[in-house]
Amino acid sequence: MSDTAVAKVNVMEQLVALCKRRGFVYGASEIYGGLNGFWDYGPLGIALKNNLRDHWWQQMVDCPPIGPDGEPVTIVGLDSSIIQNPKTWEASGHVGGFSDPMVDCTVSKKRYRADHLACGLVKVERKGEVVELGWCAVLDGDGVDVDMQKRASKLIKKSGGGEYVKPEALFEYTELDQATQQLVIGPDCDEAGSLTAPREFNLMFETYVGAIRDDSAKAYLRPETAQGIFLNYKNVVDTMRVKMPFGIAQIGKSFRNEVTPRNFIFRSREFEQMEMEWFCAPEDALKWYEFWKAERMKWWKSLGIKDENLIFRDHDADELAHYSKACVDVEYRYPFTAPKFGELEGIAHRGCFDLTQHQTHSKTKLEYFDQEAQVKAKDAGCSKEEIAQKSRYMANVIEPASGLTRAVLVMLCEAFTLDPERPSKVYMKFPAKFAPIKAGIFPLVNKDGMPEVAKALFMKLRQKFAVQYDAKQNIGKRYARMDEAGAPFCITIDGQSLEDGTATIRLRDSLAQERMAMDEIESFLDKQVNG
Rounded to an integer, the average pLDDT of 507-514 is 95
471, 457 Cβ separation under 8 angstroms: no
Rounded CA separation 64/71 (Å): 10
- What pLDDT is attached to residue 432? 96
Phi and psi of 111, rounded to 5°?
Answer: -120, 140
- What pLDDT is attached to residue 471? 93
- What pLDDT is attached to residue 190? 87
Rounded CA separation 125/161 (Å): 9
Name the average pLDDT for the chain.
Answer: 91
- Name the pTM for this structure: 0.83
Rounded to an integer, the average pLDDT of 152-176 is 89
* Common-topology check for domains 44-82+224-352+395-413 and 423-530: no
Domain 44-82+224-352+395-413 has CATH 3.40.250.10: no
Over residues 282-300, the pLDDT tens digits come to 999 999 999 999 999 999 9
Rounded to an integer, the average pLDDT of 142-151 is 85
Over residues 422-464, the pLDDT tens digits come to 999 999 999 999 999 999 999 999 899 999 999 999 999 999 9
Cα 348 to the center of its chain, rounded Å: 16
Amino acid identity at 162? G
- What pLDDT is attached to residue 5? 44
Angle at 123 between CA 121 and CA 126, to 5 degrees: 170
- What pLDDT is attached to residue 98? 64
Rounded CA separation 226/429 (Å): 33
- What pLDDT is attached to residue 267? 92
- What pLDDT is attached to residue 114? 87
Which of 132, 134, 123, 116 minimizes the C-alpha distance to 175? 116
- What pLDDT is attached to residue 390? 83
- What pLDDT is attached to residue 97? 62
pLDDT higher than threshold 60 for residue 400: yes
Rounded CA separation 372/355 (Å): 21
pLDDT higher than threshold 80 for residue 197: yes
pLDDT higher than threshold 80 for residue 83: yes
- What pLDDT is attached to residue 99? 66
CA-to-CA separations, 223 to 81, 92, 97, 519, in angstroms, rounded: 12, 11, 13, 50
210: alpha, beta or left? (left if phi > 0; alpha if psi -120 to 50): left
pLDDT higher than threshold 50 for residue 2: no
- What pLDDT is attached to residue 1? 39
229, 275 Cβ separation under 8 angstroms: yes
Rounded to an integer, the average pLDDT of 389-417 is 94
- What pLDDT is attached to residue 6? 43
Over residues 343-366, the pLDDT tens digits come to 999 999 999 999 999 999 999 999
- What pLDDT is attached to residue 3? 44
Q: What is the 8-class DSSP label of residue 214?
A: S
Domain boundaries, the chain: 44-82+224-352+395-413, 100-201, 423-530
b/e map of 196-230 (b: 16 or more CB within 10 Å)? bebeebbbbeeeeeeeeeeeeeebbbbbbbbbbbb
Between 94 and 276, where is the model more confident? 276
CATH class of 423-530: alpha beta
Tell me the longest C-alpha to C-alpha distance in the chain.
88
pLDDT higher than threshold 90 for residue 321: no
